[in-house]
């Protein structure tokens, strides 16, 4: 009986799902947990803010809140494949504990549910790519797709962002 | 608008009624617990305050009754009078009488204290023995007790802050609707939005008005403070206070409280000379200090004037060099007003000796930071031997500020009017190149001119502008002033003057120094508010 119970529990753990918002940066797919995303919107007019790093695109008025907008591709120095049309860009409005910030993505973000078990902890060789390992929560696999799961909270609190002082 | 006196009177009555309620409560408790020292102390305090307030505003009879009751409770406290039944009755009667008198202030049936009751009170105060037989029964002609609630309420400033923030948001949306209605050109919408405009405006002023307090609420604390400082410094100070009636936002007053205290300490301990020195210089033996307030449109101007020894320009110039701010040559070339502005630099102090009340390393820079933080400015004038005047220009209200809108490249920027001096269209040919900077002679003053385009687009260390970099025959220059220093800002276009509601920038972009905040224009466009103080500091640091 007891061993049966334990097996049941194990099965439940296996079934735990994580809900992601998935978007493309460069050629790869990236995801963030949906509970960190406040909303997804077509990028509103951005007011450029001189004296900020180039990956800060400026500030936007989103429903009366004025928030900073960051370009993740520029932030991570991900090269965009040239020639892709982008009439609109989209902004993911993300909430950290103390503040809200927008992230620009170039294609419509999608929602995707993955079993937790299909996300591997970030392997160490990822240090070789430009995204600091710290920001990567893991690599998720879904059918034949590979999704890099980002820890947005770490991006928002990284020293680099917090100390924007010019 | 009600007169100030009327307002004071209403506040007095409301407070007095509150005291009365508290007295009733405490005295009933005391009857059950005659030994309770705390209750006694509290009753004593309430009566004491009531007496003082009543006398201050001229209600002598209320003051007298309070005084008698206060004395009686004083005796009970010192155990010279026992809290016996007879005494309790008299005291209750006395408190009831107070209540009647307060409720009926200024009404036709004004209550005179009954002579019997006053006599009873005198008896219990004066006869310290058990001699209660003389107490006469007091006719209770005021038995009908009306329950009534006070006309005044206390409110936490936090709640008013919240209300003001909401109004700020509302104004932003109102402006948006207002400009939309013009674009859409719909008559009904225009009418409604015009009405909305008026109502929000009135709402805004009402909320701002509710937050106003008299400058006197701060100024009136100074006679005592000045006395204490003067005693320690062994000086005699004659303090004159002018303009207590001027009104200002409560939070602004709160923020400058420490600054004003600091300036006052400085004035007395460093400014005013010792008596023998004053006599030698043919001045009155007492030092004169004036604290004044006046209104100038949306600005409240506070002045702290002393007739002390003044600030020695040469000494300041020397200190500028000694502390490594400038070379001796550069210091010698400074204009007098600029020399004094160094007093506000961090770590700049002229104090040679540390005294008990001032000169403990907190400099004028702290004062200036406080004033900067509310968008005000501070100025110092001084004449050696004659005295020093500090002038504080403060916004009346925090929420709404007049600002000048301008355009640089595709962006709109706002510069608070508090910091703008004038606007000129200046011929490009008449600008001069000095090193990497441009300077111009405007109305006889040599002013450093900054190209905002260049400032925005290059790293400060690489900032360099030649005349050839500028487009056009004339430049739109906004002359800004901060800490007695002037700076000319070249902008692409001057737009208009407008009242704006400044919102703080949110993290992480709140650390960019040159922005004081952000505002939304009627068009919905985001407009950055420039921090003149930070931009000025940029170029001073560079020098």
Q: Beta strand B237-242 with B212-214: parallel, antiparallel or unpaired?
A: unpaired
> Is A36 inside any structural domain?
yes
ipTM: 0.79
Q: Read off the pLDDT of residues B482-507 as tens digits, 9 standing for 90 and up.
A: 877 889 999 999 998 887 878 778 77
B300 has a pLDDT exceeding 90 = yes
> What is the reported pLDDT for B492?
94
The mean pLDDT value for B417-435 works out to 90
The mean pLDDT value for A106-116 works out to 85
A84 has a pLDDT exceeding 80 = no
Cis peptide bond prior to B508, omega within 30° of 0:
yes
Out of A56, A61, A164, whose CB is closest to B526? Answer: A61
Give the pLDDT band (50/70/90) at residue B359.
Answer: very low
Q: Treating both helix axes as pointing N-terminal to C-terminal, what angle do B4-32 and B85-103 enclose, rounded to 10 degrees?
A: 160
B507 touches chain A (CB under 8 A): yes
Q: Read off the pLDDT of residues B89-105 as tens digits, 9 standing for 90 and up.
A: 888 888 888 888 888 77
> What is the reported pLDDT for A35?
86
B353 has a pLDDT exceeding 50 = no
Smallest CA–CA distance from B502 into chain A, residue: A66
> Is A107 inside any structural domain?
yes
A78 touches chain B (CB under 8 A): no
Contacts of B410 in chain A (CB under 8 A): 48
> Is A9 inside any structural domain?
no
B134 or A34, which is more confident? A34
B8 has a pLDDT exceeding 50 = yes
Q: Beta strand B299-306 with B287-296: parallel, antiparallel or unpaired?
A: antiparallel
> Best interface-test mutation with A: which of B509, B510, B511, B534 has the largest number of A CBs within 10 A?
B509
Helix (H) or strand (E) holding B319: helix B313-322
Contacts of B458 in chain A (CB under 8 A): none
Tell me which DSSP letter residue B503 carries.
B
Contacts of A161 in chain B (CB under 8 A): 508
Give the pLDDT band (50/70/90) at residue B392.
Answer: very high
Smallest CA–CA distance from B452 into chain A, residue: A50
CA distances B343 to B204, B270, B337, B539, Å, are: 38, 14, 11, 18
Q: Read off the pLDDT of residues B20-76 as tens digits, 9 standing for 90 and up.
A: 888 888 888 888 887 788 888 888 888 888 888 888 888 888 888 888 888 888 888
Number of domains in chain A: 1
Closest CA to B412 of B274, B307, B303, B520: B520
Give contacts of A 86-105 with B, CB under 8 A.
98-101
Given an 8 Å threshold on Cβ–Cβ distance, is A163 in contact with B520? no
Given an 8 Å threshold on Cβ–Cβ distance, is B507 in contact with A162? yes
Smallest CA–CA distance from A44 into chain B, residue: B525
Out of B460, B507, B528, whose CB is closest to A47? Answer: B528
Contacts of B525 in chain A (CB under 8 A): 45, 47
Instruction: Please say whether the beta carbons of A73 and A130 come within 8 A.
Output: no
Out of B457, B460, B526, whose CB is closest to A59? Answer: B526
């604290």: which residue's tokens? B291
Instruction: Please say whether the beta carbons of B350 and B319 come within 8 A.
Output: yes
Give the pLDDT band (50/70/90) at residue B358.
Answer: very low
Helix (H) or strand (E) holding B495: strand B493-501
Task: Report the gap between the CA of B507 and the closest CA in chain A (Å).
Answer: 6
| Angle at B41 (CA atoms; ends B35, B43), nearest 5 degrees | 100
Residue A33 sits at φ, ψ, to 5 deg, of -65, 140
Reduced to 3 states, what is the DSSP secondary structure of residue B522?
A: coil
Instruction: Please say whether the beta carbons of A100 and A94 come within 8 A.
Output: yes
> What is the reported pLDDT for B203?
92
Q: Treating both helix axes as pointing N-terminal to C-terminal, what angle do B85-103 and B115-126 enclose, rounded to 10 degrees?
A: 140
Out of B455, B509, B511, whose CB is closest to A59? Answer: B509
> Is A8 inside any structural domain?
no
Cross-strand bridge partners of residue B33: none
> Is A149 inside any structural domain?
yes
Contacts of B413 in chain A (CB under 8 A): none
A166 touches chain B (CB under 8 A): yes
B38 or A6, which is more confident? B38
The CATH number of whichever domain residue A57 belongs to comes to: 2.40.50.180
Closest CA to B225 of B254, B258, B249, B274: B258
Task: Report the gap between the CA of B511 and the closest CA in chain A (Å).
Answer: 6
> What is the reported pLDDT for A8?
54
Given an 8 Å threshold on Cβ–Cβ distance, is B526 in contact with A47? yes
Smallest CA–CA distance from B408 into chain A, residue: A50
> What is the reported pLDDT for B452?
93
Closest CA to B42 of B8, B66, B77, B11: B77
> Is A6 inside any structural domain?
no
CA distances B260 to A159, B22, B257, Å, are: 38, 35, 5
> What is the reported pLDDT for B499?
79
Q: Read off the pLDDT of residues B439-497 as tens digits, 9 standing for 90 and up.
A: 999 888 889 999 999 988 888 778 888 888 888 889 999 999 887 788 999 999 999 88
Instruction: Please say whether the beta carbons of B455 and B463 come within 8 A.
Output: yes
Q: What is the pTM of this model?
A: 0.60
Out of A51, A60, A166, whose CB is closest to B526? Answer: A60
- State the SS3 of B170-228: HHHHHHHHHHHHHHHCCHHHHHHHHHHHHHHHHHHHHHHHHCEEECHHHHCCHHHHHHH
Contacts of A52 in chain B (CB under 8 A): 509, 512
> What is the reported pLDDT for B238?
92
CA distances B230 to B238, B239, B280, B364, Å, are: 10, 11, 20, 21
Q: Read off the pLDDT of residues B497-541 as tens digits, 9 standing for 90 and up.
A: 887 878 778 777 887 888 988 888 877 788 999 999 888 888 876
Contacts of A60 in chain B (CB under 8 A): 526
Instruction: Please say whether the beta carbons of B257 and B217 come within 8 A.
Output: no
> Is A5 inside any structural domain?
no
| Angle at B337 (CA atoms; ends B336, B340), nearest 5 degrees | 90
Task: Report the gap between the CA of A100 and the closest CA in chain B (Å).
Answer: 8
B107 has a pLDDT exceeding 90 = no
The mean pLDDT value for B375-389 works out to 87
Given an 8 Å threshold on Cβ–Cβ distance, is B457 in contact with A50? yes
Cβ-Cβ pairs closer than 8 A, A with B, add up to 73
Out of A45, A51, A98, whose CB is closest to B507? Answer: A98
Smallest CA–CA distance from B518 into chain A, residue: A66
Reduced to 3 states, what is the DSSP secondary structure of residue B342?
A: helix
The mean pLDDT value for A58-76 works out to 85
Give the pLDDT band (50/70/90) at residue A123.
Answer: low
Q: Residue B259 class from Cβ within 10 Å (0-12 exposed, 13-18 middle, 19+ buried)?
A: buried
> What is the reported pLDDT for B530?
93
Given an 8 Å threshold on Cβ–Cβ distance, is B506 in contact with A99? yes
């460069």: which residue's tokens? A26
Q: Which residue range forms the structural domain that includes residue A40?
A: 17-162
Average pLDDT across chain B, whole number: 83
> Is A12 inside any structural domain?
no
Largest CA distance in chain A: 67
Instruction: Please say whether the beta carbons of B200 and B167 come within 8 A.
Output: yes
With a pLDDT cut of 70, the percent of chain B lying above it is 90
């Amino acid at each position: 009986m007891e061993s049966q119970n334990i097996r049941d529990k194990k099965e439940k753990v296996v079934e735990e799902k994580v809900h992601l918002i998935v978007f493309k940066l460069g050629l790869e797919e990236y995801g963030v947990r949906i509970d960190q995303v406040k909303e997804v919107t077509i990028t509103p007019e951005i007011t450029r803010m001189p004296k900020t790093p180039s990956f800060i695109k400026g500030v936007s008025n989103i429903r009366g809140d004025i928030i900073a907008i960051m370009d993740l591709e520029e932030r991570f120095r991900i090269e965009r494949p040239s020639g892709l049309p982008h009439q609109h860009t989209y902004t993911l409005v993300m909430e950290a504990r103390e503040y809200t910030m927008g992230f620009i993505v170039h294609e419509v973000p999608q929602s995707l549910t993955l079993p937790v078990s299909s996300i591997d902890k970030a392997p160490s060789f990822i240090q070789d790519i430009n995204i600091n390992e710290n920001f990567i929560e893991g690599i998720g696999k879904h059918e034949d797709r590979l999704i890099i799961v980002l820890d947005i909270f770490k991006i928002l609190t990284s020293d680099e962002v917090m100390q924007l002082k010019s | 608008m009600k007169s100030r006196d009327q307002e004071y009177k209403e506040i007095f009555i409301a407070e007095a009624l509150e005291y009365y309620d508290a007295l009733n409560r405490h005295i009933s408790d005391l009857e059950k617990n005659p030994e309770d020292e705390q209750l006694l102390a509290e009753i004593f305090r309430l009566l004491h305050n009531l007496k003082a307030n009543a006398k201050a505003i001229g209600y002598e009879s209320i003051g007298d009754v309070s005084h008698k009751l206060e004395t009686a409770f004083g005796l009970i406290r010192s155990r010279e009078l026992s809290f016996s039944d007879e005494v309790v009755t008299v005291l209750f009667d006395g408190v009831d009488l107070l209540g009647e008198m307060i409720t009926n202030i200024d009404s036709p049936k004004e209550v005179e204290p009954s002579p019997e009751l006053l006599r009873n009170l005198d008896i219990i105060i004066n006869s310290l023995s058990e001699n209660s037989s003389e107490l006469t029964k007091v006719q209770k002609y005021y038995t009908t007790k009306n329950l009534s609630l006070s006309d005044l309420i206390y409110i936490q400033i936090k709640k008013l802050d919240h209300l003001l923030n909401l109004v700020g948001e509302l104004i932003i949306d109102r402006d948006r609707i207002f400009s939309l209605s013009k674009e859409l050109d719909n008559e009904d919408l225009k009418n409604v939005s015009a009405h909305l405009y008026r109502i929000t405006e009135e709402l805004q002023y009402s909320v701002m008005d509710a937050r106003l307090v008299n400058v006197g609420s701060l100024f009136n604390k100074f006679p005592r403070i000045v006395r204490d400082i003067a005693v320690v410094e062994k000086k005699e100070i004659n303090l004159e206070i002018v303009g207590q009636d001027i009104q200002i936002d409560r939070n602004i007053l709160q923020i400058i409280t420490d600054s004003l205290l600091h300036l006052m300490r400085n004035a007395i301990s460093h400014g005013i000379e010792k008596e023998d020195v004053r006599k030698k210089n043919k001045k009155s033996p007492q030092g004169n200090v004036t604290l004044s307030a006046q209104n100038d449109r949306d600005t409240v101007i506070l002045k702290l004037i002393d007739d002390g020894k003044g600030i020695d320009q040469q000494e300041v110039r020397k200190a500028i060099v000694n502390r490594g701010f400038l070379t001796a040559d550069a210091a010698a070339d400074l204009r007098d007003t600029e020399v004094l502005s160094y007093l506000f630099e961090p770590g700049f102090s002229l104090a040679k000796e540390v005294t008990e009340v001032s000169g403990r390393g907190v400099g004028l820079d702290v004062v200036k930071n406080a004033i900067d933080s509310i968008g005000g400015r501070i100025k110092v004038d001084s004449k050696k031997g004659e005295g020093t005047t500090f002038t504080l220009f403060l916004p009346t209200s925090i929420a709404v500020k007049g600002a000048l809108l301008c355009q640089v490249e595709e962006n709109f920027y706002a510069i608070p009017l508090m910091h703008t001096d004038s606007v000129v269209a200046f011929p490009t040919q008449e600008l001069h190149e000095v090193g990497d900077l441009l300077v111009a002679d405007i109305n006889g003053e040599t002013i450093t001119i900054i190209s905002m385009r260049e400032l925005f687009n290059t790293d400060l260390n690489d900032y360099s502008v030649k005349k050839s970099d500028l487009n056009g025959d004339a430049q739109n220059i906004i002359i800004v002033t901060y800490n007695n220093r002037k700076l000319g800002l070249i902008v692409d276009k001057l737009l208009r003057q407008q009242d704006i509601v400044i919102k703080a920038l949110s993290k992480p972009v709140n650390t960019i120094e040159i922005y004081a905040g952000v505002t939304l224009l009627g068009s919905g466009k985001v407009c950055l508010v420039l921090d003149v103080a930070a931009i000025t500091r940029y170029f001073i640091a560079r020098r």
